[in-house]
Structure 1
């Protein structure tokens, strides 16, 4: 048996299917020797461990990507045509990007200018905003205010408020929101009255339920056509993905 347990056999045993070598048929002495050979081989060739780890990570990433593709496909109507989320950019664009965001999220703020650059520079992107306040009470208040603005004053006013909130670094309070509304000549009182309405609550709850279905646990999260992109992505990377999808 000793002659069979050579480095080549050890290497084969690390990658072979479970049925290829039945260790239960070894004696205790043979099993101990086998373990010693495996340890010695790995100590002499530690790169094998990293190769195995990299292979595992690649397989896991591929499985996650396939699972995400299925999630997007199964929930396409709620993602791309829910009837209430803001749709900007070019509504007739050949590519759709959806962003789940939170106004208190630092990475959302970091991504904001880069997403704007991508959407405005391309000119053929349909851009959808999903309000997902998950970072505390101020996040919720900000989202309620933005959604209420959309309902009361329309999409153009919503976009102005959305952009301002994405750039705002102070505390979100009734006073600061009132000033923001006044700066755009909006009816602050009407918007604040609408904030706690069932209509606003329903939109937030539906988006939150969709995020849970899509297994979204953080912001920003993007959907680019058929793919879920979890987390912040710099402009160059988003543009490269966009160009790849266009072929």
Structure 2
């Protein structure tokens, strides 16, 4: 609740509110909630509106305080919903799927799940920080879940990354990731074939697998989990299924969140 400091007009406003309560208390108990609009005469309603308008003109901070309170309540509700979603999907977030690429220690006791789009510039920017964190923290594993949310180019590159994993596991995935995430050319299937060849993969097999049932199922599962936890952008990080940080975040904030989640 946001408390508003008294002003010279506030006793009048308070009296009006007290009068409103008195009228409602005095009404007979019918077993049903009274409609406030029917509890006052037109003149009384007009007076209440006039008091509120005068209060807002005299002290506009009432409105800003009210907006702040609404935002605070909305944020609290959003956080509660996020905590509920994380708890509901705790197992999914703490148990990597066979198709998940993992940075760091695969048996690490601290699990960070990253949902990312390979075309997202912030996802590309954070890669060195993730590498640094796993080098410094030997009990950390970062589970990467690819989600195509930025259009057709994202879908093509996401399919190529998952197809690389299907073809050659973790090592093939990370070689293809380095090629894809560092590439500035337009993402086409032919471009993915070229990057696959440069990464030591079979380009023909990769291009076929990109539209195969296995790759499609993996991407669909990633998207469903992302939607279930209320993902609102990329990258999004989930720390030990306890905390979510959406959007661009740097090394220091990531390290702090990891420490808090332990």
Query: What is the 5 A alignment of 1:96-115?
Result: 96-115=111-130
Once structures 1 and 2 are overlaid, which stretch shifts more, 143-152 or 115-124? 115-124
Specify the SS of the correspondent of 2:79: helix
* CA deviation after TM superposition for structure 1 residue 52, in Å: 1.8
List runs of 5+ in structure 1 lacking aligned partners: none
List runs of 5+ in structure 2 lacking aligned partners: 1-7, 25-35
Is 1:135 the counterpart of 2:150? The answer is yes
Q: Please name the residue that 1:7 is paired with.
A: 10
| Alignment CA distance shift 1:12-1:161 (3 Å) | farther
* CA deviation after TM superposition for structure 1 residue 145, in Å: 1.4
| Alignment CA distance shift 1:6-1:137 (3 Å) | closer
Aligned residues: 240
* CA deviation after TM superposition for structure 1 residue 12, in Å: 8.4
| Alignment CA distance shift 1:83-1:20 (3 Å) | farther
* CA deviation after TM superposition for structure 1 residue 13, in Å: 7.3
- TM-score for both structures, normalised by structure 1: 0.84
> Residue 32 of structure 1 is aligned with which of 36, 46, 53?
46
Q: Distance in 2 between matches of 1:20 and 1:185?
A: 80
Q: Please name the residue that 2:170 is paired with.
A: 155
Specify the SS of the correspondent of 1:77: helix
Specify the SS of the correspondent of 2:107: coil
* CA deviation after TM superposition for structure 1 residue 21, in Å: 7.2
Once structures 1 and 2 are overlaid, which stretch shifts more, 20-29 or 157-166? 20-29
> Residue 57 of structure 1 is aligned with which of 71, 82, 90?
71
Q: Please name the residue that 1:188 is paired with.
A: 203
Query: What is the 5 A alignment of 1:118-129?
Result: 118-129=133-144
* CA deviation after TM superposition for structure 1 residue 205, in Å: 1.5
Specify the SS of the correspondent of 2:245: strand
| Alignment CA distance shift 1:228-1:9 (3 Å) | farther
Which string of whole-angstrom CA distances, capped at 9 and with x for unpartnered residues, describes residues 152-209 of structure 1? 1120121121133222221122343233223332222332332222111111111122
Q: Please name the residue that 1:80 is paired with.
A: 94
User: How well do the aligned residues superpose, as a CA RMSD in angstroms?
Assistant: 2.7
Specify the SS of the correspondent of 1:161: helix
| Alignment CA distance shift 1:38-1:200 (3 Å) | same
Once structures 1 and 2 are overlaid, which stretch shifts more, 190-199 or 110-119? 110-119
